């Protein structure tokens, strides 16, 4: 059986932003979502405060880590989960 690793970006409420088979493409989408893209011009892009990699989670979930963004005086967290798909889609 062919297994495939996918990446899932959500906000803290669990709303789906993107799903991709590449972490880089998933990250590019999240950055563009917050107006951070060197190939485009945004009037007020958010500030990415960085990515925090989760080394250990007491919860039984697939949380890989999260980005923090500062946008118009508001801090936003975007979670990145990983999942192995072993069933045909």
Give the model's pLDDT for residue 1. 61
Q: How far apart are CA 19 and CA 81, in angstroms?
A: 9
List pLDDT tens digits, range 46-86.
999 999 998 875 666 789 999 999 988 899 999 999 998 88
Q: CB atoms < 10 A from the CB of 15, how many?
A: 8
How open is the CA angle 5-61-1, to the nearest 5 degrees? 30
Backbone angles phi, psi at 83, to 5 degrees: -150, 140
Strand order across the beta sheet in which 4-11 lies: 16-20, 4-11, 74-85, 63-71, 47-53
List pLDDT tens digits, range 8-50.
999 999 999 999 999 999 999 999 999 998 888 888 889 999 9
Predicted structure pTM score: 0.85
Give the model's pLDDT for residue 57. 59
């Amino acid at each position: 059986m062919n297994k495939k690793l996918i990446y899932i970006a959500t906000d803290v409420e669990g709303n789906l932003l993107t799903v991709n088979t590449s972490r880089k493409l998933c990250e590019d989408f999240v950055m563009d979502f917050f107006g951070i893209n060197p190939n485009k011009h945004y009037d007020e892009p958010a500030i990415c405060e960085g990515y925090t990699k989760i080394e250990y989670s007491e919860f039984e979930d697939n949380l890989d880590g999260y980005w923090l963004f500062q946008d118009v005086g508001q801090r936003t967290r975007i979670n990145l989960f990983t999942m192995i798909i072993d069933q045909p889609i």
